[in-house]
């Protein structure tokens, strides 16, 4: 199941287990994204606002990082005006833990295969190596037709 959430002025399509970076959120531990725009699962899409309001996406804050530095330089020609500044955005790293309505992950039941004797395994492997069908001969290509000869005309005939 997936959901499209809105956070920090941006939208992100998320699934359970995704790790994403959003603008700084001053929270620790668990976080809930209330503004869910769309949710979908197995070809069905939920866009009803009332239904989406009851299924907030839950996540876990992993930490904060700082983005690349952006240099800002103002300059006006012939006036001696120069101004320099910089900016570094702080991002919060969030792991999506739960999307309501998503089927829970079930522990896969392991099936034990019956042990075959070693001789049977080798014989089965040899049979798998041989091609099942023979190659068909290539079909002959049709010959290309020559273009029709151009008609010669003089300047005064068509008029």
> What burial class does residue 99 get, using C-beta atoms within 10 Å of its C-beta: 0-12 exposed, 13-18 middle, 19+ buried?
buried
Q: Residue 33 domain-assigned? A: yes
Q: Which is more confident, 120 or 151?
A: 151
Query: How many domains does the chain fold into?
Result: 1
Average pLDDT across the chain, whole number:
81
Distance CA 89, CA 68 (A): 7
pLDDT digits (tens, 9 = 90+) for 76-126: 999 999 999 999 999 999 999 999 875 444 444 344 444 455 555 555 555
Q: Residue 91 domain-assigned? A: yes
**What average pLDDT does this structure show over 45-61?**
92
Q: Residue 115 domain-assigned? A: no
Distance CA 22, CA 2 (A): 17
> How high is the pLDDT of residue 143?
74
Q: Residue 146 domain-assigned? A: no
Task: Tell which residue, 62, 63, 37, 67, has the closest CA to residue 52.
Answer: 37
Q: Residue 113 domain-assigned? A: no
Range of the domain at 32: 2-71+83-98
> How high is the pLDDT of residue 148?
74
Q: Residue 103 domain-assigned? A: no
Q: Residue 14 domain-assigned? A: yes
Q: Residue 158 domain-assigned? A: no
Per-residue confidence at 14, pLDDT binned at 50, 70, 90? very high
Longest CA pairwise span in the chain (Å): 93
CB 19 within 8 A of CB 35: no
**Taking the chain, what is the end-to-end CA distance rounded to the nearest angstrom?**
73
**Per-residue DSSP letter, 150:** P
């Amino acid at each position: 199941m997936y959901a499209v959430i809105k956070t920090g002025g941006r939208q992100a399509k998320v699934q359970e287990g995704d790790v994403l970076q959003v603008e700084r959120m001053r929270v620790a531990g668990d976080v809930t994204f209330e503004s869910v725009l769309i949710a979908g699962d197995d070809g069905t899409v939920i866009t009803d606002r009332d239904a989406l309001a009851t299924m907030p996406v839950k996540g876990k804050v992993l930490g904060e990082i700082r983005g690349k530095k952006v240099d800002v330089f103002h300059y006006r020609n012939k006036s001696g005006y120069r101004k320099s500044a910089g900016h570094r955005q702080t991002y919060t790293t969030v792991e999506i833990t739960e999307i309501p309505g998503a089927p829970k992950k079930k522990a896969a039941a392991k099936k034990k295969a019956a042990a075959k004797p070693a001789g049977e395994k080798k014989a089965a492997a040899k049979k798998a190596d041989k091609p099942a069908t023979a190659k068909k001969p290539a079909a002959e290509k049709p010959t290309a037709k020559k273009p029709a000869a151009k008609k010669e005309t003089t300047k005064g005939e068509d008029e």
